[in-house]
Amino acid sequence: MSEILWQPEPQRIAKSRMDTFRRAINQRHSLHLDDYPALHQWSIEQRSEFWQDIVDFFDIRFHTQPDAVLREGSQMPSATWFPGATLNFAEHLLRRRDDAVAVVAVAENGQREQLTWAELAEQVAGFQASLQAGGVGLGDRVAACMPNTWQTLVAMLATTSLGAIWSCSSPDFGTHGVIDRFGQIDPKVLITCAGYRYAGKAIDQTDKLNEILQQLPSLQQLIIVPYARPQARAEDYRTDAEVSLWDDFYQAAGEPDFVPVPFNHPLYVLYSSGTTGVPKCIVHSTGGVLLQHVKEHGLHCDLGPGDRLFYYTTCGWMMWNWLVSALAVGSAVVLYDGSPFYPETERLLGLIDDERITVFGTSPKFLATLESSGCKPRESHDLGTLKTLLCTGSALSPQSYDYVYRDVKADVCLASMSGGTDIVSCFVNGNPLSPVRRGEIMGKSLGMAVAVWNDAGQPVIGEKGELVCTRHFPAIPIGLWNDPDGSKLRQSYFSLFPGVWAQGDYAEQLPHGAMLIHGRSDAVLNPGGVRIGTAEIYRQVEKLPQVLDSVAIGQQWQDDVRVVLFVRLQDGVELDEPLQAQIRQVIRANTTPRHVPAKIVAVTDIPRTISGKIVELAVRNVVHGQPVKNTDALANPEALEQFRDRPELGAIEVIQR
C-alpha cells in the first residue's frame, strides 16, 4: 500500500456533498454505510435505488415521469433507463437565473469576458430563437468547429434546448479531421470561427473552411464567429448554405424554452481519436450524460454553488462536454482558449488566483512540464481557493504526485481520473472521503461495476488485466452513428467478453480498492508473451530529468517482439552510453527485466493527439512501414517522420494485417 500524501480532515468530509449523500442514503434506506467502499458496493448492488437517489438528490426534473428506473435485457448492452421519462438537458444547466457569474471566458491574449446566470440564459434564448427560425428541431445535428469560448457554450445549450444533437471539434483539427467527423453525421448547421489564436499566432481559417464546406452538402446554415479575424465577412465563404456572422444571426429573445425529450434521446455525437482510421461517431443520451455528470461533479468533485471549475481542454475533447456540465450543480465554469504555456509557463496558475478557481483540471503532461521547468507554484502563487486538482488524459506518475504535494499545494485533493470519450465520463476517479495515495487512483466511480479481468474472463486483484464494467450504467452510449443494428457498438465494446463492457485499458485493482492504469490494451507490449503496459515504462523514465518525453512500442523482431523506447531529451543532452545505461537501470530496478528496452532511440518530438495523448499505435505503424490512416487527428503529425527507417532498428519486419 502506497504512502498517504493527503487525508481529508473530518470537518471537510462532513461538509462534502458525498458525505451528505451517504447520510441521506443511510436514512432513506435504513442502512449503515460508513465509508466510501461501502457506499460504492451498495451503489452497484442496488443500481435502481442508487440512480433514483441521484435523481432525487440533484432534483432532476422530468416533464413526464418514468415507468421504472431500469429495464434490462438478458445481457449488456440491452437495457433501458427511466423508460417513459422526458426531460431537457439544457434546462438543468440553466436553472439558476441570478446575477452571480456563471461563465468566465479567458483568451491567451488576456481578453476576458463573463456572463452571469441571467445573461447566459438570455444569450441562449436569443440563439435558440434563431436556430428555431432556421428550422432546427428534434434530432437535427448542429456541428461546431470552435475555440473554447462562451459562444460555443451558448450554442450548445441552445441546440440541446431544442432537442437537437450537438457535435463539436476544435479549430486545430486539420481539414480532413473535421470532414472525417462531421461528414458522417450530415449537420444542418455549422458554427465556426473565422480565425483562432495559439501561442501568440493568429491563424486564418478561411481557406480550410472553404475546403470543408464543399464536403458538407447537408449544410443549410453557416454561422461565423469572427474571433481572431475581426475583418471576416459572410461573402468570404463558398457554400450553398445561408451564411451569417454571429452577431447578425442572434435574435434578442426573452426566456429560453426547453423541449422535453426521452431519457435516451441523442444529446451529443463525440468521436474516437481516429488515429487508426475514420473516427467512430459515438452517440450519447440526454439523461445518461446528465445523471453521470451531476454524480461526478456534485459528489466526486464536491462541486456546488459558490465553486468554480476549470479544465484545460479544447472543444474537440470530451473534457469540454464534461466541464460545462458543472453548471447543472450550480457551479460556475472558467473557459480558457489558447496555449497553456503562453505567454509564460505559469499562465494557467495565474488563473487560479485571478478567477478564484476551486477545482482545477489538467493533464499529466502539464504537471510534468511545470516540474521540468523548475516551477514551484506554492512559492509564486497564493492558490488559496484551490481545493481539488483533477488530472486525466494518461496515467499520472508517482513523481507528479510528489511534485504536487511538494511544490504546488500540500492541502489539495489530487484526484486522478480515467474514463473515456466512449462514456464521456469516468470509470475510476477521486472522491472527497478517501485519502490520496502516491501514484494511485482513489477508486471506482459510484454506480460503476468496475473490475479487472484476466484473459480467461476472471476478476483479479493485484494483477494486471482488462478494465471492464460488468453491469449496465446510464452513460453507456446509445449507439454509434449509422449502426442501425448495433453490431458496431457490440464489436467495439462487448466482443472481448460478451455482455461485459471492455474499455480497452490495461489496468490493475490493488487489494485496498485503489486503481492503476497501465496504458491502452491495444498498445500493450508483448515481449516473450509477457504483457507490459506502456505506462509502467513511462513512470520510470519520467524520474530522469534528462528525459522530457518518451514513447514505447513493441517492434516485431526475430519471431518475437522487442521493446523499443524513443526519448526526447533536454536541450544539449546527448543519448550516450552512460545515459542509456541509466535509463535501463531505473526501468530494471523498478519493474522487471522484460520491461527493459532492447533499443533506446533519440527523437526531437513525440507525436500526440490534439487532446495530448501519446499515439503508440501510429508510431508502431511507421516503424513497421505501415501507413497511418488519419494524421489529421494528431497535433504534430510531422513528428512521425522521425520514426521511419531508423537505422538503429535494423531491417523492419512488416506486420501482416
Question: Alpha helix (H) ranges present in 110-251?
Answer: 117-133, 150-161, 175-182, 206-213, 246-249
| Beta strand residue intervals within 380-514, DSSP E | 388-391, 413-416, 418-420, 425-429, 436-437, 443-444, 450-453, 464-469, 479-480, 501-509
pLDDT level of residue 535 (50, 70, 90 thresholds): confident
* Pick from 636, 52, 582, 618: nearest CA to 295: 52
Three-state secondary structure call for residue 477 = coil
C-alpha–C-alpha distance, residues 202 and 39, integer Å: 50
Note the pLDDT of residue 657.
31
Q: Is the pLDDT of residue 652 over 60?
A: no
| Beta strand residue intervals within 246-363, DSSP E | 261-262, 266-271, 281-285, 308-311, 332-337, 359-362
| Mean pLDDT value of segment 432-448 | 97
Output the CA angle 612-615-617, nearest 5 degrees: 165
Distances (CA, A) of 261 to 61, 70, 147: 12, 18, 28
Three-state secondary structure call for residue 11 = helix
Cis peptide before 171 (omega within 30 of 0): no
pLDDT level of residue 599 (50, 70, 90 thresholds): very high
C-alpha–C-alpha distance, residues 216 and 186, integer Å: 7
Note the pLDDT of residue 394.
81
How much of the chain is helix, strand and coil, in % rounded to 5? 35, 25, 40
Largest separation between any pair of C-alpha atoms in the chain: 71
pLDDT level of residue 656 (50, 70, 90 thresholds): very low
Question: pLDDT (tens digit, 9 = 90+) per residue, 150-189?
Answer: 999 999 999 999 999 999 999 988 888 899 999 999 999 9
| Mean pLDDT value of segment 253-279 | 89
Q: Is the pLDDT of residue 133 over 70?
A: yes
Note the pLDDT of residue 275.
60
Q: Is the pLDDT of residue 654 over 50?
A: no
Q: Confirm if 178 and 143 have CB atoms less than 8 A apart.
A: no
Three-state secondary structure call for residue 491 = helix
Output the CA angle 576-579-583, nearest 5 degrees: 135
Q: What is the mean pLDDT of the chain?
A: 94
Rg (CA), the chain: 24
Q: Which residue has the higher pLDDT, 87 or 254?
A: 87
Note the pLDDT of residue 279.
86
Residues with Cβ within 8 Å of 592's Cβ and at least 6 positions away in sequence, in order, are none
Distances (CA, A) of 426 to 289, 469, 640: 11, 11, 30
Angle between helices 36-45 and 17-29 (to 10 degrees): 60
DSSP 234: G
Question: pLDDT (tens digit, 9 = 90+) per residue, 543-585?
Answer: 899 999 999 999 988 878 899 999 999 999 999 999 999 999 9
Note the pLDDT of residue 10.
96
Angle between helices 47-57 and 286-294 (to 10 degrees): 80
| Mean pLDDT value of segment 647-656 | 63
Question: pLDDT (tens digit, 9 = 90+) per residue, 87-131?
Answer: 999 999 999 999 999 999 999 999 999 999 999 999 999 999 999
Question: pLDDT (tens digit, 9 = 90+) per residue, 296-354?
Answer: 999 999 999 999 999 999 999 999 999 999 999 999 999 999 999 999 999 999 999 99
CA quadruple 234, 239, 241, 246: dihedral, nearest 10:
-30
Q: Where are the CATH 3.30.300.30 domain residues in the chain?
A: 524-649
- Using a pLDDT cut of 90, give the percent of the chain over it: 83
pLDDT level of residue 528 (50, 70, 90 thresholds): confident
Amino acid at 26: N
524-649 CATH fold = GMP Synthetase; Chain A, domain 3 (3.30.300)
Show contacts of 104-107: CB within 8 Å, 24+ apart.
104/308, 104/332, 104/333, 104/334, 104/335, 104/355, 105/148, 105/149, 105/150, 105/335, 105/336, 105/337, 106/334, 106/335, 106/336, 106/337, 106/351, 106/355, 107/149, 107/197, 107/336, 107/337, 107/338
Q: Which residue has the higher pLDDT, 32 or 609?
A: 32
204-237 burial string, b = 16+ CB within 10 Å, else e?
Answer: ebbebbeebbeebebbbbbbbbebbbeebeeebb
Distances (CA, A) of 65 to 51, 62, 80, 590: 14, 6, 14, 55
Note the pLDDT of residue 655.
41
Which three three-digit cell numbers place residue 197? 489564436
Residue 153 main-chain phi, psi, to 5 deg: -65, -45
Upper half-sphere CA count for residue 41 (Cβ side, 13 Å): 9
Residues with Cβ within 8 Å of 491's Cβ and at least 6 positions away in sequence, in order, are none
Residues with Cβ within 8 Å of 591's Cβ and at least 6 positions away in sequence, in order, are 536, 537, 540
Distances (CA, A) of 242 to 184, 235, 238, 428, 484: 21, 11, 10, 45, 31
391-418 burial string, b = 16+ CB within 10 Å, else e?
Answer: bbbbbbbbbbbebbbebbbeebbbbbbb
| Neighbouring-strand partners of residue 641 | none
321 C-beta neighbours (distance < 10 Å), count: 22
Question: pLDDT (tens digit, 9 = 90+) per residue, 467-521?
Answer: 999 999 999 999 999 999 999 999 999 999 999 999 999 999 999 999 999 888 8
87-515 CATH fold = Rossmann fold (3.40.50)
Question: pLDDT (tens digit, 9 = 90+) per residue, 380-415?
Answer: 999 999 999 999 988 888 999 999 999 999 999 999
C-alpha–C-alpha distance, residues 602 and 652, integer Å: 18
* Pick from 341, 331, 332, 383: nearest CA to 365: 341
Three-state secondary structure call for residue 18 = helix
C-alpha–C-alpha distance, residues 533 and 650, integer Å: 24
DSSP per-residue string spanning 627-640: PPS-GGGBS-GGGG
C-alpha–C-alpha distance, residues 130 and 242, integer Å: 13
| Mean pLDDT value of segment 418-426 | 96
| Beta strand residue intervals within 250-406, DSSP E | 261-262, 266-271, 281-285, 308-311, 332-337, 359-362, 388-391
Q: Where are the CATH 3.40.50.12780 domain residues in the chain?
A: 87-515
